[in-house]
């Protein structure tokens, strides 16, 4: 056995402690579970999200799309509300049928 020491913001620690408690875990057990998952998966065992709840790739895609839209690239133009609604509905259908 070995001892691990780390520095963490007290508010963050207390917030995590509450979550662990609600899951029936203490801080030590939660950290042990994390390390076991790192070893098993050979990676960080969860998606790394930004403060907006998105992955870095998702945020970059949104920023790229925003720049393209400002430049008029990949922009779908419609003439009226009915066309706009039909287009948005088609996107919803595509998304529902997507394997992701």
* Of 8 and 94, more confident: 8
- pLDDT for 99: 62
- Average of pLDDT values for 72-83? 83
- pLDDT for 98: 63
Report how far apart the first and last C-alpha atoms of the chain are (Å, whole number): 42
Q: CB of 50 within 8 A of CB of 56? A: yes
Q: CB of 65 within 8 A of CB of 71? A: no
* Of 88 and 78, more confident: 88
Q: CB of 75 within 8 A of CB of 69? A: yes
The answer, yes or no, to whether residue 73 has pLDDT greater than 90, is no
Distance CA 17, CA 13 (A): 6
Task: Count helices and strands (H / E) in the chain.
Answer: 4, 0
């Amino acid at each position: 056995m070995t001892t691990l020491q780390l520095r963490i913001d007290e508010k963050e620690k207390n917030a995590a402690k509450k979550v662990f408690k609600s899951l029936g875990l203490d801080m030590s057990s939660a950290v042990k579970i994390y390390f076991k998952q790192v070893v098993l998966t050979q990676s960080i065992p969860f998606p790394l999200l930004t403060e907006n709840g998105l992955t870095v790739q998702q945020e970059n895609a949104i920023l790229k799309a925003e720049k393209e839209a400002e430049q008029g690239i990949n922009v779908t133009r419609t003439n009226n509300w009915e066309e706009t609604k039909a287009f948005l509905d088609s996107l919803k259908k595509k998304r529902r049928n997507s394997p992701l």
